[in-house]
Amino acid sequence: MHTKAFPYIGLLSLFWGTNIVASRFGIGEFNPYLFIALRLTIAMLFFAPVVLWKNGRFPTNPELWRKAVLSGIIGVSIPMTTFILSLQYQSSGMASIFVTTSPVQIVLAAHFFLPDEKLTRNKALGVTLALVGALFLALRGESGLAGVGRANPLGFLLVTTGLLAETVNTMYVRRHMTHLDPIEVTGIRLAVGALILITVAFFLGDFSFAHVTVAGYFSLAYAALIGALAGQFTAFYIQRRFGATAFALTSYLIPVVATVFGVLLLGEIVTWAMLVGVLLIGGGIYLINRRVYEPQMVPVGD
């Protein structure tokens, strides 16, 4: 992985870390399904002119549509819905800590499906350590919310489901979509996600705006333009240019961003168990991404 990936990794971590906080606040004022549908719709409407500006028309390539639609279902609709719904049961920091286990799934999947990203001994140790950290937090029932005893396990299950979908999407992008235009792909992915979630919200959502405050509308706009729009484009760009391992590195920084802003803005808490979990998972991710340098053999007589 090239060091040129680092600025993009940091930017995506900031986008998605603050997006978790904004989304948790937003679903306190909007129906969760309506919130998700609106943020994707706003992102799609803002991104459509970008697609038109680039090519002067909307994409018509059947292969592009086929692959981007599937990626939109797997990589946008499912993870975005499950992540936000999980915020009903746990803090922004807690949800983001569970998200840090995404490298575990990505590394394991990459070993089997990407020929250039095989599992090494360090990665295997890292996978084990990170899983121990995640299971430790899940079994303790940590929520990161003041006044809440044991967390509802549904929060952990929702995050895990979203991570599995994101892992499948990452493998799919690397194997089948590296030659496709990221702007066109992002536009289609957002459109697909918006259409699916609008349909879901129609049946499951509450379309009342009576109790939404100015802060609620701001959280929606932020989640749409930063979390959904800028975040999805940056994520696809990292996956396409730098690979699955580079994309997994965002998990280092997302919990830091989400936890700090969650404590400052939403009154969330940090427990000793959360810190232990972060250390275990962070240590595992370090081992997963640690590059081992082997000394070069010098021929005798040189």
CA distances from 47 to 40, 50, 58, 111, 283 (A): 10, 5, 12, 34, 38
Q: 209 to each of 15, 21, 34, 49, 73, how far by Cα in Å?
A: 26, 20, 10, 28, 28
Which amino acid is residue 105, in one-letter code? Q
Quick one: how far is CA 131 from the chain centroid? Answer: 18
What local confidence, expressed as pLDDT, does residue 115 receive? 66
Token readout for 67 is 């692959």
Within a domain: residue 275? yes
Return the axis-axis angle of helices 6-26 and 32-55, rounded to nearest 10°: 140
Give the Cα separation of 91 and 266 in Å (integer): 9
Predicted local distance difference test score (pLDDT) of residue 294: 42
**133, part of any domain:** yes
Backbone angles phi, psi at 235, to 5 degrees: -65, -45
Cβ-based neighbour number of residue 109 at 10 Å: 18
- Taking Cα atoms as reference points, which of 246, 245, 249, 274 lies closest to residue 259? 274
Q: At what angle do helices 102-113 and 272-289 cross, to 10 degrees?
A: 20
Residue 20, phi then psi, degrees to nearest 5: -60, -45
pLDDT under 50: residue ranges of the chain: 292-302
Residue 301: inside a domain, yes or no?
no
**Residue 33 in tokens:** 């399904």
Under 8 Å CB-to-CB from 223, ≥6 apart: which residues?
19, 22, 23, 26, 35, 39
CA dihedral 72, 161, 250, 25 (to 10 degrees): 90
Structural domain includes residue 296: no
| Residue 18 domain-assigned (yes or no) | yes
The residue range of the domain holding 194 is 3-289
Predicted confidence at residue 18, as pLDDT, reads: 92
Rounded CA gap, 89 and 30, in Å? 16
The alpha carbon dihedral of 131, 132, 135, 137 has a sign of negative
Per-residue model confidence (pLDDT) at position 21: 94
pLDDT in tens, 240-287: 788 767 776 777 788 889 999 999 999 999 889 899 988 888 888 788
Q: Is residue 92 part of a domain?
A: yes
Residue length of the chain:
302
How many domains would you assign to the chain? Answer: 1
Per-residue HEC secondary structure of 110-144 comes to HHHHCCCCCCCHHHHHHHHHHHHHHHHHHHHCCCC
Using a 10 angstrom Cβ sphere, with 0-12 exposed, 13-18 middle and 19 or more buried, the burial of residue 230 is buried
Instruction: Identify the pLDDT of residue 258.
Output: 92
Flag whether 298 is in a domain.
no
Q: Is residue 85 part of a domain?
A: yes
Cα gap 115→120, rounded to integer Å: 13
What was the pLDDT predicted at 299? 40
